[in-house]
Amino acid sequence: MITRRQAAVRLDIPVEMAQRNGIPARMTEAELAAIDQNPPSWLAQSRANRTGKKPVWVQLTCVVCGYSEAARPKKWWPEVTYLSCFDHGYDEVPPPAEGLSRTEVDGIGTRFVGIVDAPA
Ligand SMILES: [Zn+2]
């Protein structure tokens, strides 16, 4: 079964939109495929309106262990060089390239630290 959140990720729509338009709390793969391939008018409209805009969801993936989750991007998130789970050691992440200095931004997604390597 697919949760509403997973369905929203797959359809690339906000969870609130899925809920408002009657996407059930759980659905089957076949039900989701049917909606995706033959979108109801609200979904077709949403897709038509979204051309060229920022993605609704981004996939966050840890550079160390490969843990991955979909998240709604936040305006304050920096352009990161790497993402790592908060519980990995500093030395598990690849070192910054020559001449770049590193800053870390906590609180991205449910468990990520954003690592930003930029010219000092
Ligand atoms: Zn990790």
82 shares its domain with 43: no
| pLDDT for position 62 | 98
Spell out which residues have Cβ within 5 A of ligand 1, the ion.
62, 64-65, 67, 85
Average pLDDT over every residue of 13-42: 96
66 shares its domain with 42: no
- Reported as a single tens digit per residue, the pLDDT across 41-96 is 999 999 888 877 778 899 999 999 999 999 999 999 999 999 999 999 989 999 99
Q: Is residue 53 part of a domain?
A: no
Span from the CA of 2 to the centroid of ligand 1 (angstroms): 24
Pseudo-torsion of CA 118, 72, 51, 22, nearest 10°?
180
| pLDDT for position 54 | 77
69 shares its domain with 17: no
- What are the Cα distances from residue 29, in Å, to 4, 26, 61, 66? 12, 10, 24, 25
| pLDDT for position 34 | 97
41 shares its domain with 90: no
Span from the CA of 62 to the centroid of ligand 1 (angstroms): 5
pTM, to two decimals? 0.79
Give the whole-angstrom CA distance, residue 59 versus residue 68.
Answer: 7
Q: What is the residue range of 84's domain? A: 58-119
Span from the CA of 103 to the centroid of ligand 1 (angstroms): 18
What is the greatest pairwise CA distance in the chain?
A: 52
85 shares its domain with 106: yes
**Percent of the chain clearing pLDDT 70 (strictly above):** 100
Span from the CA of 6 to the centroid of ligand 1 (angstroms): 21
Check if the beta carbon of residue 64 is closer than 8 Å to that of residue 93. Answer: yes
| pLDDT for position 84 | 97
Average pLDDT over every residue of 15-24: 96
Span from the CA of 57 to the centroid of ligand 1 (angstroms): 20
